[in-house]
Structure 1
Amino acid sequence: MLVVPELELELDRVGRSAVGAGGLGAGGEACVYCRRVGRGRTMLVVPELELELDRVGRSAKMQEELRQLRQLRDEYDDRIQRLRWSIARGGQQGQQQRGGEGGAVGDEQSRKDAQALLEAAEEQRAKLKSRHSALLRAHHRQFHPVWGQLMKTGHQNSRFAHQLERYACLYTSHVSNIAFVSPEKSFMGRLERLAHEWEYEEAQEDEERRNGAPSFGPGAAVDDIGSTSSTW
């Protein structure tokens, strides 16, 4: 759906004949591009968003467990890589530095200990992966038994979410959600973050959880109007 705010100003800017998809010579999917010509703004109405937000709010505990499992898998990946590197490096150093029988026995014992730790870590990682995959499938089935979550594919944004971000300035589940929004309201785009900024923020949140600080998660009130553009 195409929504052109401040319609009177748009009429002055582009003329009556240019307002709307027909006047701009746009049809079908091309409607989403007309804001670039007429300097209007687009709002995508996504009825499924209402159910999506409801399911997200109900699955807060599951999402937290998924986050923790994902973090644990990363930690075990790092641990396994360090152990493998240590075993390989220790074997090379042992061959160069081994000068007597006693040293050989010590090197061999250290290698066996490291190998045992490696096997235990790999076994634990496999269990975590199985649990994580099963829980992620169950999480997506809450939204739709076949297609899963509308906005996500696994932990990444879905193709639909990418298109939504690219072509819609705003999106909402119902047109009536903007009934009480002032015509002068300016919707600012969300702050973009790089990977290191996300990691810093997650570290801060983990510290707050350990310290018992209150958190405002999916259980809090959710604004049903999403902004994707830099400014509206």
Structure 2
Amino acid sequence: MSSTTSVRRAEKLRIIKILRALNYFYSLRDLEKILDIPFQSLWKYINFLGIPSDEVVEDIKNKLSEKKIIDELLYDIAKKYRDMPQHVARNIGFIELYSLVIEERLGEEEIDYVFSLSQEAIPLATAISIEMGCELCIPLVNRNIVEENVKILWYYSSTEQSIKYILIPRDCLHQHKKFFLVDLMINEKDKLSKIISILNMNDISVIGIATIYISKECIDLINKNKYPNLLYLYVI
């Protein structure tokens, strides 16, 4: 199989995944109007009973880009649930769609681990790791785990005005690895600063960070560290 054919098939599969995710929010009749494609064909695509042609794939990509359908949909959902982020974490269509956007943005970046910075972000981090084909690192919740197996990271939560901690599995902290950090909400500057510090201490490169909600001061901290990829939907 030629590399061109492989890329073309990968792009078609990606478009099918996008259509399946959009179908959580739009009926096939609505998508028919938006994309100007018969709903019968769309039904075949999302059920893997048909494969769109090269021309159809390009047409769908152009329409999605021109109408900013995905960007506006993700932003509207993030804005709607800004006071209830846990609802976003349970929204399968949203998770699938956002993970595909992130995967496209990262392109050919080499990533060893997708690191979820919270329990709530595990669904999104899992979806991204599947799309990127890399390992997943998640924080632990059992405080009784011996310290030989975890790194306990204490930080001050400005939102809750208390001392909190995150348990990072030590088997994730391999030197010279490339990490992509994921969370639902990044608004604790002290937590982010200490995570960055421990990754730097272990010579771990941060390829980028993705979140749904983020504070301005955390954006400034990330930009100060000059990470190449920062993706977010809503500034809080």
TM tier, smaller: under 0.3
In our comparison, the structure showing a higher alpha carbon Rg is 1
Normalising by structure 1, report the TM-score: 0.22
Q: Give 1 or 2: higher helix fraction.
A: 1
Point out which structure has higher relative CO (alpha carbons under 8 A, 6+ apart). 1
Q: Give 1 or 2: higher strand fraction.
A: 2
Normalising by structure 2, report the TM-score: 0.22
